[in-house]
């Protein structure tokens, strides 16, 4: 109901006499912007390659096809095609990355929710991402996809130094939906999306934020990075696909500047705090360059330098924040190599508290802004015992948390 409709109804109610019921005003619906984390956006690719890593891999494709996350590609041998198509090539002169030779990529669906609700466009259950949250908002709070519910997919392999265009498009999207709906927006993020949203908000004026952003809702944000990124640089991660080895995916994972962006922050870890133990020497933030040299990937060190200014800028976002995450899940605190073959052996993982991916000190980073925010821009902190980082968006408790926040805290009847 728009303003003029409400006035007409109100006039009718008054003229009908004292028995008439006064009509309630239209409900307040702050438009919602969904910002995914690492791995949380679909990526399409088109191939025109002169050589491939395996005879099963395609050299050319006439059109774009879904490459992330295509479950058919997450099988032994074929995974090598995905790794080669998804890896990035770093240019030490321009300090930027490009696709593997012969690979063209695009990020589909900016502004829509489809490519962040499901990582596979066929909408197979294992690739469900923001869908539970989008569904509950649509079904119970009458949100409409593409009207007051939008997504911000982006190339999650990149770090902020290469995502300037995304920030420009995100700002325009928020301005358009705020103008259309007449209410400021609520930005809902998962994991690395929280850091992306923080960087975006730091780039905007306070006047712009006061007008356009009601709240920032962050789910499992790695505010200070994570020791798990050190593990990925060392041995890779199998993404929970048990038939795959972390080493197989490592060749692609370590080429992503976003991985370097998520290394443990010196604002959260002490310079000499040990991250990796080996029989020869230990590694901390103080000698992290030696770590990259010893694993034969100095490109990782260069990408770390490119992203360092974003890591060290932890100024408050200047909007109300609702920060939620899991606790009480075993999370990597340190890697310990007991054999002489570092880095060519598998380390023991020394565990601590967190959500299974992000360490607790990092998850709680949002509480550092409590005193820094302007009046009226409060920081709300909520924990969920036993909630795993990777399962957060698939868990009904998180969808209900976002629903209740919008309905009760943010006045959606």
Q: What is the mean pLDDT of the chain?
A: 90
Residues 6+ apart with CB under 8 A from 174: 33, 185, 187, 212, 213
pLDDT in tens, 270-311: 999 999 999 999 999 999 999 999 999 999 999 999 999 999
pLDDT at residue 17, rounded to an integer: 36
pLDDT at residue 72, rounded to an integer: 85
Tokens of 407: 């309905």
Annotated active-site residue in 212, 322, 389, 403 = 389
The three-state secondary structure class of 350 is: strand
pLDDT in tens, 226-277: 999 999 999 998 776 544 556 788 999 999 999 999 999 999 999 999 999 9
Annotated active-site residue in 100, 191, 226, 362 = 191
Residue 191 appears among annotated catalytic residues: yes
- Supply the pTM of this predicted model: 0.91
Instruction: List, as one string, the DSSP characters of 301-313.
Output: HHHHHHHHHHHH-
Contact indicator for 253, 238 with CB cutoff of 8 Å: no
Contact indicator for 130, 112 with CB cutoff of 8 Å: no
* Other CB atoms within 10 Å distance of the CB of residue 49: 17
Residue owning tokens 């696909």: 241
Residue 355 appears among annotated catalytic residues: yes
**Residue 410 pLDDT grade (very low, low, confident, very high; cuts 50, 70, 90):** low
Residue 54 appears among annotated catalytic residues: no
In eight-state DSSP terms, residue 354 is B
Superfamily, domain 32-41+108-409: Alpha/Beta hydrolase fold, catalytic domain (3.40.50.1820)
**Residue 408 pLDDT grade (very low, low, confident, very high; cuts 50, 70, 90):** confident
Annotated active-site residue in 355, 362, 388, 403 = 355
Residue 60 CA to residue 17 CA, distance in Å, equals: 74
Domain boundaries along the sequence of the chain:
32-41+108-409
**Residue 165 pLDDT grade (very low, low, confident, very high; cuts 50, 70, 90):** very high
């Amino acid at each position: 109901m728009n303003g003029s409709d409400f006035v007409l109804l109100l006039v009718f109610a008054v003229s009908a006499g004292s028995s008439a019921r006064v009509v309630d005003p239209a409900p307040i619906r702050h438009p919602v912007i969904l910002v995914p984390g690492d791995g949380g956006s679909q990526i399409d690719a088109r191939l025109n390659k002169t050589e491939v890593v395996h005879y099963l891999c395609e050299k050319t494709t006439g059109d774009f096809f879904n490459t992330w996350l295509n479950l058919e590609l997450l099988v032994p041998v074929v995974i090598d095609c995905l790794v080669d198509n998804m890896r990035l090539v770093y240019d030490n002169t321009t300090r930027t990355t490009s696709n593997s030779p012969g690979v063209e990529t695009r990020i589909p669906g900016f502004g829509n929710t489809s490519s962040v609700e499901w990582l596979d466009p066929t909408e197979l259950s294992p690739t469900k991402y923001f869908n539970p949250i989008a569904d509950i908002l649509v079904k119970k709070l009458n949100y409409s996809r593409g009207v007051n519910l939008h997504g911000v997919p982006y190339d999650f392999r990149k770090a902020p130094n290469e995502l300037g265009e995304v920030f420009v498009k995100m700002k325009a999207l928020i301005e358009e939906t705020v103008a259309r709906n007449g209410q400021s927006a609520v930005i809902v993020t998962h994991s690395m999306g929280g850091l992306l949203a923080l960087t975006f908000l730091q780039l905007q004026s306070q006047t712009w934020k006061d007008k356009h952003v009601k709240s920032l809702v962050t789910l499992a944000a790695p505010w200070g990075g994570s020791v798990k990124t050190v593990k990925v640089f060392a041995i890779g991660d199998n993404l929970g696909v048990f038939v795959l080895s972390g080493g197989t995916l490592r060749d692609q994972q370590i080429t992503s500047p976003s991985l370097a962006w998520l290394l443990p922050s010196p604002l959260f870890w002490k310079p000499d705090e040990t991250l990796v133990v080996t029989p020869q020497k230990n590694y901390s933030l103080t000698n992290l360059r030696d770590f990259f040299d010893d694993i034969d990937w100095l490109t990782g060190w260069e990408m770390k330098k490119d992203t360092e200014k974003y890591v060290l800028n932890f100024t408050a976002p200047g909007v109300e924040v609702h920060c939620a995450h899991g606790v009480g899940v075993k999370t990597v605190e340190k890697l310990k190599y007991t054999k002489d073959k570092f880095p060519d052996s598998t380390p023991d993982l020394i565990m601590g508290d967190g959500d299974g991916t992000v360490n607790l000190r990092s998850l709680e980073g949002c509480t550092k802004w409590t005193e820094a925010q302007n009046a009226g821009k409060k920081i709300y902190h909520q924990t969920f015992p036993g909630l795993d980082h990777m399962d957060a968006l698939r868990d009904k408790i998180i969808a209900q948390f976002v629903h209740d926040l919008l309905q009760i805290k943010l006045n959606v009847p």
